[in-house]
Amino acid sequence: MNIINIDHIAKVYQVGSEEVHALRDVSLKIDKNEYVAIMGPSGSGKSTLMNMLGCLDTPTSGIYDFKGVSVSEMTDNELARIRNKEIGFVFQTFNLLARSDAVHNVELPLIYAGVASAERKERAKQVLVDVGLEDRMHHKPNELSGGQRQRVAIARALVSNPAIILADEPTGNLDSKTGEEIMGLFHEIHEKGNTIILVTHEEYIAEHALRIVRLKDGLVEKDENVEKRFLPKVKASIL
Amino acid sequence: MSPMIFELNEGLAIAWRAIRANKIRAALTMLGIFIGITAVVLMSTAIKGIDNSFKNGISALGSDVLYVDKWSWFSNDEWWKMRNRRNIEMEDYRKFKELAKLPIAVAPVTNSRQTIKYDDKKVEGVFLTGSNADYVKTTNFTFEQGRFYSEIEGNASRNVAVIGSEISAKLFPRGDALDKTIKIGGTNFKIVGVLAEQGSVILGPFNPDNQVFIPIGTIFKNFISRHSQTVTLNVRAPNPNMVEETKAEAEGIMRKIRGLAYDEPNDFSINQQEGLQEQYDSFVGVIQIAGLFITGLSLFVGAIGIMNIMFVSVKERTKEIGLRKAIGAKRRTIMTQFLLESSVICLLGGLIGLIAALLLSLMLNQFFPTAIQYDVVIIAILISLVTGIVSGLAPAYTAAKMDPVDALRYE
């Protein structure tokens, strides 16, 4: 079964007296263990689609089924539960808690899931080891490099074993070498059987994926498999 | 364990980190609550202190004692009408005592102000009470040393004196007043008794602690002429339930003694401690309401400070709120987090304020009566908690209802 089944969704925002059609008519199916890049220029609706996929927002019309359950009519609390258990977010700006160390940042989703402290710590540490940060467990974000921060954020996204990893421009704030390392990490995460959705406007980043969905003016312009896949040169971790 | 416990735990940890990260800001915010709680607690201990002191004082007067006087303590009559009344004389006292059946004691009382000396120490303007041996039966006096002057000493107008505890403390710091000879307005008096502390700052000069008691004949002989000043009759009812009957009897006897016709008004007043109590209650009631209102206002200002800072804190952490929501925090979780933060600030400020107020009230107690009530401690803690929750409510709600998409995008 598809993890994500989007059928003719639209999203209309009311800006003052004007209606903005961020998404006009988008249909999309994503299977388990896919590696999809969503591309498009700014204003194409890719951010809106990402918010929708991440259950941060609900469509104005159309159907969004997540693992066979309709998201469109969910309450705030039900959406929060889906985000907590099924979706791992990775942001361009990392969005780590500045005053907390790596372990605490990673265990955060588990706190909201109601996992007991000892188990939380153990799982957080294991994921940090997986992303290659075993010697940075108790460093705070300002004591870490950009690449290390993004690894902490990826560990946070992985810790609750979500159905999809949703990464929004994950290399946007990194230099190209570090960006390549992070893409290597995503590659390995995908190899392990995870489903990854990558939102980017960089062609060479998108080509790390197996499938590219191109958006334009709120419509899917092209949905194709990548023929000449870009394989990361850098071995990222021991994952 | 339920997720609620973990969320609470996490909320407390966040609150604590937030306070530590902005120490000066948190301290200034706490200052507002600190001042508010200190003021409220101090005010209530002071009011309770005055209250206790008044109740002690008034119980020293005795609730079952009537004061038959030319003057009314509380009257709507103009003072000159009362001035024109005839004085109550010793002759009236003798007739009254003969006729009265109910009272357990009747004592004639008159007063003067004199300077008291012992060696090189002196106390000026002391309230001198002249009466007879029955006077002590109209009071609830207890003695530190010695006794009240006897019937024989009283009737023979001997130069004997009973002194209040504060007079004793001023003239005899070593507490060896008994049998010493003091000078009252230049005349020698032997001290036969020292009162234990009766304890009422409220009554001022009327406080027995600041008085000296001598036989009424002696006061007429040395300080005031017999007919120049009215005498008050202190009349004690047999028990507090008989006050009204005793009062009715006293009124009848007085009208008879004074030869008043049935249509003439009383040319005397019968005063009671009850009147004092009423006056006091209305007076203190006003102070209490005004005091708590003013101090409550300072607490309110403190609460506004908290609310203000919490709004700033929510704004500053918009992105963090967005992240927490993205990874699964519910509205309730965010709400709890910010309510906890404002409550922790308020509780800390309140606790420090409470400690400061209790210390201050202990210090003040040396000059002014204060009484720490332990329910005040609990109430103060509850007030600071409620203040924290109430002032955190609007900011926390703002945070909880944020849209995660907008919050994440916030710069």
Q: What are phi and psi of A34, to 5 degrees?
A: -80, 160
- For the stretch B109-118, pLDDT in tens is 999 999 999 9
For B271-317, how does the pLDDT look when each residue is reduced to its tens digit (9 = 90+)? 887 777 777 788 888 888 888 888 889 889 999 999 999 999 999 99
Instruction: Supply the pTM of this predicted model.
Output: 0.73
Q: Do A112 and B404 touch (CB under 8 A)?
A: no
Q: Which of B2, B10, B408 lies at the smallest CB-CB distance from A111?
A: B10
Query: Distances in Å between the alpha carbon of A224 and those of A3, A38, A164, A206, A207?
Result: 19, 11, 20, 12, 11
B21 near A CB under 8 A: yes
Q: Is B401 on the interface with A (CB under 8 A)?
A: no
Of the candidates A51, A80, A108, the beta carbon closest to that of B330 is on A80
**Per-residue model confidence as pLDDT tens digits over A23-36:** 999 999 999 999 99
- Mean pLDDT across the stretch A193-202? 93
Residue A66's nearest CA partner among A30, A112, A39, A23 is A30
The residue-averaged pLDDT of A190-219 equals 92
Is residue B406 classed exposed, middle or buried when 0-12, 13-18 and 19+ CB atoms within 10 A define those classes? Answer: exposed
* Average pLDDT over every residue of B215-240: 89
Residue B54 has pLDDT above 60, yes or no: yes
Residue B205's contacts (CB-CB under 8 Å, 6 or more residues apart) are B125, B127, B211
Q: What is the mean pLDDT of residues B49-63?
A: 74
3-state secondary structure of B195: strand
User: How high is the pLDDT of residue B199?
Assistant: 64
SS3 content of chain B, % helix, strand, coil (to 5): 60, 15, 25
User: Does B3 contact A99 at a Cβ distance shorter than 8 Å?
Assistant: no
The predicted pLDDT at position A238 comes to 47
Given CB atoms, is A54 within the 8 Å cutoff of chain B? yes
pLDDT in tens, B176-197: 999 999 999 889 999 999 998 8
Residues 3-22, chain A: which have Cβ within 8 Å of B? none
Taking an 8 Å cut-off on Cβ atoms, the answer to whether A112 and B3 are in contact is yes
Contact at CB, B328 and A84, closer than 8 angstroms: yes
pLDDT, averaged across chain A: 91
Residue B254: the pLDDT is 93
Average pLDDT over residues A104-110: 94
Q: Closest Cα of chain A to B333: distance in Å?
A: 8
- B329–A80: do the CB atoms touch at under 8 Å? yes
Distance CA B141, CA B57 (A): 11
- Whether pLDDT at A239 is above 70: no
Provide the pairing of β-strand B105-118 with A69-70. unpaired
Residue B273: half-sphere exposure toward Cβ, Cα within 13 Å: 21
In this complex, is the C-beta atom of A117 within 8 Å of any C-beta atom belonging to chain B? yes
* B23–A contact, CB cutoff 8 A: no
> Tell me, what's the pLDDT at A234?
57
Closest residue in B to A51 (Cα–Cα): B405
Q: What is the pLDDT of residues A45-94, one digit of tens each?
A: 898 999 999 999 889 999 999 998 999 888 989 999 999 999 999 999 99
Above 50 in pLDDT, residue B354? yes
- Summarize the confidence of residues A171-199 as an average pLDDT: 92
